[in-house]
Amino acid sequence: MDVQSRIVELALSAEVKMGDTDFCAREIASIISDATKTNAFSIWLGRMDASVHPVYRCTDESCYLDTLLPLSLAPSFTKLITEQSVSGFSSPNQVPDSEVLEKHLLFKTKSGCTLVSDHNEDILCMFICEPGLPADFDPLPLQKLARVFLHCAIAKQNQDYIKLLREMKQQVVKNEQLAMLGGIVASVTHEINTPLGVAVTGLSHLTDEVSALNEQFSSGTLTETSFKDFMASCAEVCTLLEFNIKRAVELVNSFKKTAVDQGAQDTIKFNITERIKGLATSLGPELKRHGVQLDINLPQSATTESVPGALSQIMTNLFFNSVKHAFKDIEAPAITITSEYDEQRQVLKVIYSDNGVGIPKAHQPLIFQQFFTTRRGEDGSGLGMSIAKELAQQKLAGDLYYDTNTTSGAQFILELPVSDYSA
């Protein structure tokens, strides 16, 4: 295969398009070695306004990463690259900035070099071939290879940015989950104090009753009436203890389930109604603290196979959004969760509504846009609803959208595919 065909094949390869600079450097080394019989060459890459550094040094035996250039020399190399697009030199001292080049670029060969470079507005790429190529050698193939490596480097940069954005997004999702769980913890902690406080008071009362009974028995003053009163009091306290301890256990278990659900990413079959009602139990203290009335009217059973944690996070986002944004100056704040079943599509529409101040028309198209928030600088990241929509589509195989036909308050519709449905 001739040089031109090899260059075209390399330029169109999937590796170059995906930014595999290791592969690209090895192929370029092979092409240059076969075409020029050069002993060695180096590939240098950098930013036009920042650092220039050697990426690869290649010989006929190897092609390896290198990082030798001091960053302080970047301006000199930027000038060298931009002013000398393609040049052949018979000896190193003929190269602009020859002292810098000889110290930091060359493999210390004494027979000169050939410099080829290419750049766009942001990134520059330079080849140094040793020894220098003949004066009649056509530098065009080297120029093309420099352009191919430049494109590969740009693709790698883009892949790195995409990877970074994905990692940042995953971290933001985790932060959102932790923030919501933190809010639930505070509310559950406050709410659980009530049943535990009642239980402690009841137990203290029972202890006093037992002590009084024991004194009457020891002194011989215990009467049938006193014993009956004691038994009635015991029954009353036991009922009180049972109710309040069960309430505390229910709160702890519901919070535990919510925390586990939000952290789990496994796909399982679960009942949508049970999950939402269980979440509502965990969020109940927070809603109660803000005086919000919650009414849930869902089918007895609606089974889906997906990630329950995604459903929990979506509903938690909706609950917290209502609490934070919807109920300012609303006398009787309320949230309603109902549903409609589309039998033909086998889709359950979970309809979430609040009677709050509503969302302005101008803001409605931006609800699911990343970083959109009306509380910038306060506690709004602007990511909650965009994450919720992504979870609905990617984790639940459904969708989440705003009902623009709502005339009062706000209404969101979460569509979920279901396998079994029972009204």
Question: pLDDT tens, 310-366?
Answer: 888 888 889 888 988 889 889 899 999 999 999 899 999 999 999 999 999 888 888
Average pLDDT over residues 159-164: 80
Report pTM. 0.50
Would you state the pLDDT for residue 61? 55
Structure tokens, 293: 């009335």
Bridge partner list, 59: 40
Q: What is the mean pLDDT of residues 80-92?
A: 47
The pLDDT assigned to 310 comes to 84
| The predicted structure's pLDDT at residue 398 | 93
Range 82-98 average pLDDT: 47
Instruction: Give the DSSP H or E segment for 183.
Output: helix 140-219
The greatest distance separating any two alpha carbons of the chain, rounded to the nearest whole angstrom, comes to: 126
Q: Which of 164-173, 229-238, 245-254, 354-363 reaches the highest mean pLDDT?
A: 354-363
CA–CA separation, 242 and 180 (whole Å): 30
Residue 417, helix vs strand vs coil = strand
Phi/psi region, residue 37 (left: phi>0; alpha: psi -120 to 50; beta: rest), is: left
| pLDDT at residue number 77 | 52
Show the domains of the chain with their CATH numbers: 3-158 (3.30.450.40), 264-423 (3.30.565.10)
Cα separation, 83 vs 115, whole angstroms: 12
pLDDT of 107 higher than 50: no
What local confidence, expressed as pLDDT, does residue 293 receive? 93
- Tell me the average pLDDT across 57-71: 52
Q: Find the mean pLDDT for residues 81-109.
A: 47
pLDDT category at 29 given cuts 50, 70, 90 is confident
Task: Find tokens 């109940």 and name the residue.
Answer: 284
Surface-to-core class of residue 107, CB atoms within 10 Å of its CB (0-12 exposed, 13-18 middle, 19+ buried): middle
Ordered strands of the 123-130 beta sheet: 63-65, 52-59, 40-47, 123-130, 113-119, 86-89
DSSP state of 364: G
Which pLDDT belongs to residue 391? 86
* 125 or 422: which leads in pLDDT: 422
* CA dist., res. 179 & res. 190, Å (int): 17
- Sheet containing 399-402: give its strands across: 293-296, 334-342, 347-354, 410-417, 399-402
Q: Using one digit for the tens of pLDDT, what is the confidence trace for 198-228? A: 788 778 888 888 898 888 888 888 888 888 8
* pLDDT mean across residues, the chain: 76
Distance CA 294, CA 285 (A): 11
Which of 198, 312, 183, 303 shows the shortest CA–CA distance to 245? 198
pLDDT digits (tens, 9 = 90+) for 289-301: 788 999 999 998 8
Summarize the confidence of residues 154-172 as an average pLDDT: 77
pLDDT at site 68: 43
- The pLDDT tens digits for 250-273 are 777 766 666 656 555 668 888 999
* Distance, CA of 274 to CA of 268 (rounded, Å): 14
